[in-house]
Structure 1
């Protein structure tokens, strides 16, 4: 008999009740609402596109209930990992859109995208997921959600808006920048959804509205408990849980071996009845191993130096200036200006509101009365102490000050991160780390 499951965290020994109610198609969807930190307005043409997908999701009650069951099963863990990394919990509906929450889902792409969040192998491994003959963490809801949260968090850092970050999950960071510039979007003030909005965003909104009010309404079902462990065989797990090995295999498709590797702690899912949760937790507790949650800063170590030629990462902002001398932009995630002609520091400061000449010098490591150059970017805010790219291999003619401006990282922090006191302490060919 098919069972309804939700995931529970063993570490916290807490659990979620996720009821199931019948899908109820509303006659209309809101045209104005707040979502993921943005004010959203939907035009009639945008609503028509959303409703087309919305109706396809809700037309079949059987199909809808199957998807809702998966939402109830996996959303608690997905949301937990998103929120732990500062990503809005409503991105859980993006996982539903990506894979229909089918851990075994495989795309037709080359190489194929796999699992709950549809990661390709190289992207998954870059985010710390293991893929081998016996393990594929893309099919593990906890591991895959950590990877997705890391990816979204990093791209939001550069793009500055969660809807832009959503587009980047489909198009990549560079592709999102091209889409934003080509369509002259300005989601920083308001997200306008119309018939020309990226289809990925339209489909997300359809999934969001189709399921958001019905998720979490049914507590009468069997559950899954997260058992963080390693170094056990499934036969051993079966003995101290009292569950058949076949049941364990069905609930852990990410593991194709009968042995849980020892290289790290994995999330193994254990089935239990609602009335037996406490007893099962008590059984598992002596065998569980602490599963550390990566802090937001530590995610950066997983990013390879694969897009250095994309720096500085410049994203134009809707023109806020009243002059043709410069444009505002986000450069490496920091507000800046791009000059269209040479200017003195005093001239630029006078044209800006609240940015002094001293600030311009400080944020951009300018000495003396140097002229500000045409087609160069100049930061208007302090640079961060770490950035989400792993390292840069120093090339001829480059200095730490040059890298600070190119990548958008505080120079003093760069010295500390690399355990040096001055530029001459590093040489061509050395790795310069950013986190």
Structure 2
């Protein structure tokens, strides 16, 4: 598949440079390499995509965002990431509740395709109010509003043309790959003629009631409606039960009135809060394998890349790994026997592979017989469960010490799942360490996949790729439940680094979690973790919060005070104006406008008078 030089996303014209094309192509390769798994994801996406398209249209969100749903959760309702983000759109609990989603012992709307998509649209609209650019709004979905504001120059707000190059955030390039991969196969009325998903109003009913009414097996309903935690569906608002409609059947008609749109909006309104995707990101569930290869995400393809005479991989001068001479270890090999087989000294084999004096070889693993490179072939790698710095350096053929240097890491530093590692260049000192979500892998197929297999033609055998090495599997205990996984995830500690400091913030009248996170450029969920709070309990005036705040915050221009050298003027909000546009008009920051007018959010009313302080 060819990556175009120009394309459009949500009204923004994108110019894609050659450096970005290469990265996008590598992600495309990962997405489409296995025809079987690609088709399975296409089929699963099409089951839900009609519902997503309808919500996006009703909420005024560009249709292009539907491909982000594939990127985020791959349409797995109960997908759980390493940072405890859950569901179709990968929300953390606090963020979901701030956006009006119900998450408790009765219902978890993060696992409901319609409710969670409405929640995602609310975030997109809120973010776009700041950036006036849907592309930056998408980036903020990973970074959080504060993180995106720090990384996106204010001059680019409202841009109608954007250049996608090597410096563009990898999350956006990954999205472009998803859009290109799926746009011709997913959405716009494409349905499986043998299987569709329909909705049935379940307000006040039990799934057992619905099962009888739609004539669908109860267990099938439970598998498709994991959002219902309790035994009975709440009756305070509409709840659509998802059920399958197979070939020869038609959806059940109901004589119930739908809630008016205004009522639906009212029930989903929430206090102003941002989605914490930091670190974000990459959301991928039921991570497929192909020919025994572990897919690795980010701006990359599949590594390591083994080429040559694979059948004779145990013999010297037969194969290369990432373009470097390599050999495969036999079951009884140690460093000495392998070195003798390739005619090298033990010390050189240890040097080539960054092996310590007591390191043992792993049967069937591949080892280099020449020096690894100083940089990787791709830009980034996102750390997966079970990986180490050494295994990553081997996978990409990059020297271990060079990998440390590029990421400004100490050898004893703990490697956390989800960290974005730099492979080609040294991470600039002014760019903070970035993390993204990694969805915990599941071995069992989803309920949707099982149904698709039941109604689809028999599977065709997949021709194996002889250049690929066996998978490095991450062991997951079979009896480990989602609840146990969630409990194992630790909350973010209140620890300052060289680039930030710990402060005490005293809650002011009308302040919300979102307002505080926006004020300091930190993440909402971090505030919750640092202070052991529950977002549903709200905040109290004069409540003290301990926060880790970037030192850059204190280097900003201090608030202007009405003095002899400061002029106080008032601006009356006109139709279509945004805080960003007003801030540019007067040469001040959005943050100062909020402070001067005691505002806790970016919402504006027609005719509202805003106080502006300017130097004479």
User: With structure 1 as the length reference, what TM-score do the two structures score?
Assistant: 0.64
Q: Secondary structure at the match of 1:68?
A: helix
2:272 maps to what in 1? 303
Partner secondary structure for residue 208 of structure 2: helix
Question: Following the alignment from structure 1 to structure 2, what is the Cα–Cα distance between the partners of residues 406 and 139?
Answer: 28
Structure 2: how far apart are the matches of 1:201 and 1:175? Answer: 15
What per-residue deviation string (whole Å, max 9, x for no partner) do you get for residues 1-59 of structure 1?
A: xxxxxxxxxxxxxxxxxxxxxxxxx3x12111222111110000000111111110000
Change (3 A) 1:364 1:243: closer
Residue of structure 2 in register with 1:7 after alignment: none
Q: Does 1:281 align with 2:249?
A: no
On the 8 A contact 2:573/2:604 being kept in 1, the answer is no
Change (3 A) 1:297 1:29: same
Aligned partner of 2:127 in structure 1 is 155
- The superposition leaves residues 150-177 of structure 1 with CA deviations (integer Å, 9 ceiling, x where unpaired) of 0011100111100100010000111101
Partner residue of 2:79?
Answer: 105
Give 3-state SS (helix, strand or coil) of 1:64's partner: helix
- Counterpart for residue 176 of structure 2: 205
For 2:264 and 2:129, the matched residues in 1 are separated by: 12
Structure 1 window deviating more from structure 2 (95-104 vs 404-413): it is: 404-413
Q: Which one of the candidate residues 165, 173, 177 is aligned to 2:145?
A: 173
Kept in 2, the 8 Å contact 1:164–1:176? The answer is yes
| Largest Rg, 1 or 2 | 2
Do 1:159 and 1:165's aligned partners in 2 also have CA atoms closer than 8 Å? yes
- Residues 403 and 103 (structure 1), Cα distance of their counterparts in 2 relative to 1, 3 Å cut: same
Residues 293-339 of structure 1: per-residue CA shift (max 9 Å, x gap):
4689756544252243577899xxxxxxxxxxxxxxxxxxxxxxxxx
- Tell me which of 78, 89, 109 is aligned to 1:137: 109
- Determine if the alignment matches structure 1 residue 57 to structure 2 residue 264: no
| Map 1:10-29 → 2, pairs under 5 A | 26=1, 28-29=2-3
1:258 aligns with 2:231: yes
- CA contact 1:155–1:173 (8 Å) conserved in 2: yes
Counterpart Cα distance in 2 of 1:147 and 1:405: 20
Structure 1 residue corresponding to 2:210, chosen from 226, 237, 242: 237
- Matched residues in 2 for 1:185 and 1:380: separation? 15
Q: CA deviation at 1:380?
A: 3.6
- 2:133–2:160 contact (8 Å) kept in structure 1: no
How far did residue 82 of structure 1 move? 1.6
Shift of 1:141: 0.4
- Partner of residue 228, structure 1: 201
Q: 1:89 aligns with which of 33, 39, 63?
A: 63
Cα distance, 1:211 vs structure 2 = 0.5
**Distance in structure 1 (CA, Å) of the matches to 2:104 and 2:8:** 42
Q: In structure 1, what is the Cα distance between the partners aligned to 2:199 and 2:168?
A: 39
Question: What is the deviation of 1:220?
Answer: 1.4
Alpha-carbon distance, 1:126 to partner: 1.3
Task: List alignment gaps of at least 5 residues for structure 1.
Answer: 1-25, 315-341, 346-359, 366-376, 382-386, 393-397, 416-435
Aligned 8 A contact 1:98 1:117 in 2: yes
Distance in 2, Cα, partners of 1:153 & 1:296: 17
Structure 2: runs of 5 or more not aligned? 274-511, 522-564, 575-581, 611-616
2:485 maps to 1:290: no
Q: Distance in 1 between matches of 2:516 and 2:138?
A: 23
Contact kept, 8 Å, 1:33 with 1:41, in 2: the verdict is yes
1:264 is displaced (CA, Å) by 2.3
1:215 aligns with 186
Q: Distance in 2 between matches of 1:231 and 1:378?
A: 48
CA distance in 1, matches of 2:133, 2:571: 27
Closer, same or farther: CA 245–364 of 1 in aligned 2, 3 Å: closer
**Counterpart in 2 of 1:31?**
5
What are the residue-to-residue correspondences of 1:320-399 with 2, within 5 Å?
Answer: 362-363=571-572, 380=585
Aligned pair count reads: 313
Conserved in 1, the CA contact under 8 Å of 2:214 and 2:252? no
C-alpha deviation, 1:202, in angstroms: 0.6
Separation in 2 of the partners of 1:108 and 1:89? 29
Task: Report the counterpart of residue 430 of structure 1 in structure 2.
Answer: none
Equivalent residues of 1:79, 1:92 under 8 A apart: yes
Q: In 2, distance between residues paired with 1:292 and 1:138?
A: 23
Contact (CA 8 Å) 1:404, 1:411: kept in 2 or not? no
Q: What SS does the corresponding residue of 2:125 show, helix, strand or coil?
A: helix
